[in-house]
Structure 1
Amino acid sequence: MDYKDLQSFLSLCSHLHLGKASEELHMSPSTLSRRLARMEEEVGATLLIRETSPLSLTHAGEQFRRHAENTLSDWQQLKRAVGVEVSDLEGSLTLFCTVTASYSFLADLLTRFRERYPRVELLVHTGDAAESIPKAESGEADIVVAARPEQLSEDLSFKTITPSPLLFIAPKNLSSLPLLTQAEIDWGEVPMVLSESGLARTRVDRWFAARNIRPNIYAQVSGHEAIVSMVALGAGVGVVPELVLKNSPMSARVRVLAVQPELEPFAVGLCARTERLQHPLLQAIWNVSAAMDNTNTLTAVL
């Protein structure tokens, strides 16, 4: 059982109403109900009687409420004693990012955020980079980690955290692609492994169009991580952000090609609907990222 569970229970004790507590915690009633059931299973007793309106605490629930209050109070005192500023801000945020972002610089950001805002629940969903901006636009995610699009909607705000060059990569062993050993590479013949859509695809398509070259597309895949894997297997030449390559388990099996002119780099950062930035939870994570950027923490991680 963690501190978020305890805070959720105290919210239920305060409102004695599943809907009002879930609204305060910024989570669905079904999610809160499952969390309560999990706590009761761990405690081994019924904590709240749900058949009444309002809800009512059992004897075990009353004891557990005191335990939750004391535990959270002791935790905040400990954090203050070691010099960590602890906020009473609470609720939940949904964040969408790629798998690469989740285990690279994002881990540092979320660690710092949780230290400062222990009562805020972060729901992290992962998927294809091309889905990031649409999820921010639709409101499906409160905030996303994404590459800044060339045309940013007026409804969105973007905060750049770090640049990431866009690289041409080939198999480490060029024997599978003898075309790349030629002094003058015929890019119209080289098999390419490209993303189906998104900013990287737009920029590489533009690169070929500027040279009046029709690319020989061997495969179109969803997700930059899959491109690195296919290139490592000798399927062709791919184009991926440097951030993806550095964090790929297949990075030792590919090489970066010195292609001129270079593709325009990505600007990787946080994106959210501008109107939502007035929400205290979004302001909090926005400010934490700004503080980290000022100390160059994220750049060092990359």
Structure 2
Amino acid sequence: MDLRQLRYFVQVVESGSFSKAAAQLHVAQPALSQHVRHMEEELGTTLLHRGTHGVSPTEAGGRLMHHARRILAEFAEIPDSVRGEAVAPRGEVRFGLPGTVSELLAAPLIEAARERYPQVRIRVVEAMSGYILDWLKRGDIDLAMIYNTSSPKGLAVHHALSEEICLFAVPSFGGKDDIHGEAVRLEDAATLPLLVPGPGHGLRELIEEAARTIRVPIMPAVEIDSYSQIKKLAERGLGWGILPRMAVQREAEAGIFRVWRIEEPKITRKVYLAYSTERPLLNAPRAVGQLAWYIVRGLVQDSTWTAKLSDDNQNPKLFS
């Protein structure tokens, strides 16, 4: 098996047919089919489902695609990596972002990268932090902003900021103000009809962990993983939501929600820039990672992101 065969296989899968791949590669279709058959014989397994409507990867073919894409991307980056920062970064950077982080970071990052590194293409992949962490470890993405670092083996993580988790509701829930002041004890918040993400969600685990320290059960009125849906339900007066302050800051400023700090204990969530230490971090991801770091800090400094910045010694120093 060689790089040419890997490139041919990836193009066949992405095109969905041998004929389309042959046209893209400027290779005769019989020769292309022969290369794939040789790969299957060498590996001793079927790599493609072949049908009248085209081809698709088998389970084994999917695993080969995972390796092939990474190998081809790293091979293409060798010249720039060897030359170092003297050469302008180029190529695709796969960046995993939780949805709420993506809302704030994706657009300014893509805009800044387009101006500074015009030969770099950023592909943003959104998901919950746990999924992003798995993709990062598997090599499906190059960089990530994550919350959970309970399993940091094989990763470099740089603490970017800490954000406050707060309680919120419409200004006069149930026709009266049930909580006075600007803060509420978690023990008291737990008695309210809460709107929170379901079990397994990173934020829910954070809330549960805090509740266990004071031996108080969390029994929500509604469990739903979507932040936007939690806010919609809260706006309709169906309960009290618990979310990061940045997720409700705009509505609080508009008078749609009242927001309370949660105390005894206080709940905070840390956000990290992360990348693998088990694979070389190429020039383009280095440049984009450093740029994302500066943009995140700028978002906090101009109050777009309500959070507390980490110390400067957390700076990843990936790219000048």
Task: Tell me whether the two structures share a fold, i.e. TM-score over 0.5.
Answer: yes
% same residue: 15
Residue 225 (1) aligns with residue 228 (2):
yes
Any conservation in 2 of the 1:164–1:242 contact (CA below 8 Å)?
yes
Task: Show the counterpart of 1:122.
Answer: 122
CA contact (8 A) 2:163 2:269 kept: yes
Corresponding residue SS for 2:118: coil
- How far apart are residue 240 of structure 1 and its match? 0.9
Alignment of 1:1-302 (within 5 A): 20=7, 28-29=10-11, 49-51=26-28, 88-147=88-147, 149-175=148-174, 180=179, 186-196=188-198, 197-246=200-249, 252-261=255-264, 263-292=266-295, 296-299=297-300, 300=302, 301-302=304-305
How far has the Cα of 1:245 moved from its partner? 1.9
Q: Which stretches in structure 2 are left out of the alignment for 5+ residues?
A: 17-22, 33-84, 306-320
CA distance in 1, matches of 2:129, 2:241: 16
Q: CA deviation at 1:49?
A: 4.8
Q: What is the aligned residue count?
A: 239
SS at match of 1:217: coil
- Contact 2:94–2:141 (CA under 8 A) maintained in structure 1: yes
Tell me if the contact between 1:113 and 1:288 (Cα under 8 Å) persists in the aligned partners: yes
Q: 1:47 to 1:152 in 2, by over 3 A?
A: closer
Distance verdict in 2 for CA 1:249–1:187, change over 3 Å: closer
| Structure 1 residue 31: Cα displacement | 8.7
- Is this contact kept in 2: 1:187–1:215, CA < 8 A? no
* Cα offsets for 1:174-232 (capped at 9, x unmatched): 12687557999854531111112333212211332233322231121123333222222
1:110-138 CA deviation, whole Å, 9 max, x = no partner?
A: 32222222222221122334433233223
Secondary structure of the structure 2 residue equivalent to 1:165: strand
Give the distance between the partners of 2:89 and 2:278, measured in 1 at CA: 19
Q: Supply the distance in 2 between the matched residues of 1:30 and 1:100 (Cα, whole angstroms).
A: 36
Q: Note the residue ranges of structure 1 that are not aligned, 5 or more in a row.
A: 1-16, 35-45, 55-84
RMSD: 3.9
Q: Which runs of 4+ in 1 moved over 6 A?
A: 181-185, 248-251
Distance in 2 (alpha carbons) for counterparts of 1:170 and 1:188: 14
**Paired residues of 2:165 and 2:262 also in contact (CA < 8 A):** no
SS in 2 for 1:95: strand
Distance in 1, matches of 2:168 and 2:293, equals 32
Q: Which range is displaced more, 261-270 or 213-222? A: 261-270
In the aligned structure 2, how far is the partner of 1:256 from the partner of 1:250? 10
TM-score, normalized by length of structure 2?
0.60
Once the two structures are superposed, what CA deviation does each residue of 1:2-51 show, in whole Å capped at 9, x if it has no partner? Answer: xxxxxxxxxxxxxxx8965x99xxxx5369769xxxxxxxxxxx998554
- 8 Å Cα contact 1:177/1:234 also seen in 2: no
Residue identity matched to 2:136? A
